[in-house]
Chains A and B, each alone.
Chain A
Amino acid sequence: QITLKESGPTLVKPTQTLTLTCTFSGFSLTSNGVGVGWIRQPPGKALEWLALIYWNDDKLYSPSLNSRLTITKDTSKNQVVLTMTNMDPVDTATYYCAHRRGYCTNANCYSNWFDHWGQGTLITVSS
């Protein structure tokens, strides 16, 4: 059974750096094709994909947030960490981590979607 859970602060001040941890079970981030992504959702709004890390340590970022995001993994702890710098009130949202599904060839992975999601954590940016 795959489970994921996000953890981190609930309140962040503008300009601060947000660090979120996704702790998962039921799969290994050392297995071929496996990935974990981060997605956020401002209150009452749509979903926005942020970042994705694969078992081979390849990383992908949303171009609009690329300069502010870093995604890393700790396979010994079954964790994925997302950091977002220079937080602003518009970054107030529920942040989700999710297990990636899709296809991989010897060359690359493609067609990424998310079949298991964490419960999400609401991050408020306010002074």
Chain B
Amino acid sequence: DIQMTQSPSSLSASVGDRVTITCRASQSISGFLNWYRQKPGKAPESLIYAASSLESGVPSRFSGSGSGTDFTLTISNLQPEDFATYFCQQSYSMPLTFGGGTKVEIK
């Protein structure tokens, strides 16, 4: 199985900040990397697929980059609704695997 490692596991930030979350795969996954946001008590929402493609309706303050084993999710101008937990997921091979999550908290 491909292991997905996210860092940091948590971070504190303020509204308006720029935040970067990293996801590393245990082997190359090309660009088959997806990002989700999960607000407290809610289901995950898809943000970005194929490393850098924004899902329809997702604000442009979210962006993704990377290929191979190293990927980043960047949130510019952090908004109150962005205080949540973020997960990456590889879709290169089965079984599908997720990272451990990064919790973005209010500073």
Contacts and interface: CB of A to CB of B under 8 A. Distances in A.
Interface of A: 37, 46-49, 52, 60, 62-64, 96, 101-102, 110-120
A114 B87 contact: no
A111 B95 contact: no
A60 B100 CA distance: 22
B96 A49 contact: yes
Given A102-B91, A111-B50, A111-B91, A46 B98 contact: yes
Nearest to A99: B46
B87 A47 contact: yes
Interface string B16-43: 0000000000000000101010000011
Contacts of B44: 47, 96, 114, 117
Contacts of A62: 95
Chain A contact surface mostly: strand
B100 A112 contact: no
Contacts of A118: 43
A29 to B, nearest CB: 19
A60 B94 contact: yes
B49 A46 contact: no
B55 A115 contact: yes
Nearest to B95: A62
B62 interface: no
Given A113-B89, A115-B55, A96 B95 contact: no
A-B pairs with lowest CB-CB distance, top 10: A117-B43, A49-B96, A113-B34, A47-B98, A111-B91, A115-B46, A46-B100, A62-B95, A113-B91, A112-B91
A118 B42 CA distance: 9
B50 A119 contact: no
B57 to A, nearest CB: 10
Contacts of B36: 47
B99 interface: yes
Interface in B48-107: 49-50, 55, 87, 89, 91-92, 94-101
Nearest to B99: A46
Given A47-B89, A49-B96, A114 B46 contact: yes
